[in-house]
Amino acid sequence: MRPIHILNGPNLNRLGLREPDIYGQDTLDDIEARCAAKLGRRGELVFRQTNSEGDLVTFIHEAEDAGADVIINAGAYTHTSVAVMDALKMVSGRVIELHLSNTHRREAFRHQSYVSLVADGVIMGFGAQGYLLAIEALIAD
């Protein structure tokens, strides 16, 4: 089984505080703990967050260098970053795009996703549970 790198973009470090009516009460630390428990000893988990586009691109490169599958919640970079999309094109493992909210029920600018253009699958609208669904999809094989 490939390692799993879960990469989180801008403002996700503020989960639990930021718009809990949209993003829920769970913190990113809560989500990381649930992901580690879900994966257990079945594989290696790397869980990271950054508010910097360049750092997110570097995290994607490091995931590829490690031969990892990637679960990415790119936050606002989903809708704006060709650099993130181009980095994800280089990932030889599977890529799952993840969003806590259903972006298609939100502002029109959130309907465009550069990440979707290169992702193998998309999970959105299930809150923190979406991370566990993404892990389940990767370990099901």
Residues that constitute the known binding site: 73, 79, 86, 100-101, 110
Name the residues annotated as catalytic: 23, 99
Q: What is the largest CA-CA distance in the chain?
A: 41
**pLDDT score for 109:** 61
Domains, the chain, ranges and CATH? 4-139 (3.40.50.9100)
* The two three-digit tokens of residue 124, written as one number: 């959105």
| b/e map 1-11, b = 16+ CB within 10 Å | ebbbbbbbbbe
Residues that constitute the known binding site for substrate: 73, 79, 86, 100-101, 110
Tens digits of residue pLDDT in 5-64: 999 999 999 988 776 676 678 999 999 999 999 999 889 999 999 999 999 999 999 999
Record the pTM: 0.93
Neighbouring-strand partners of residue 47? 6
C-alpha distance from residue 66 to each of 40, 93, 123, 125 (Å): 19, 10, 23, 29
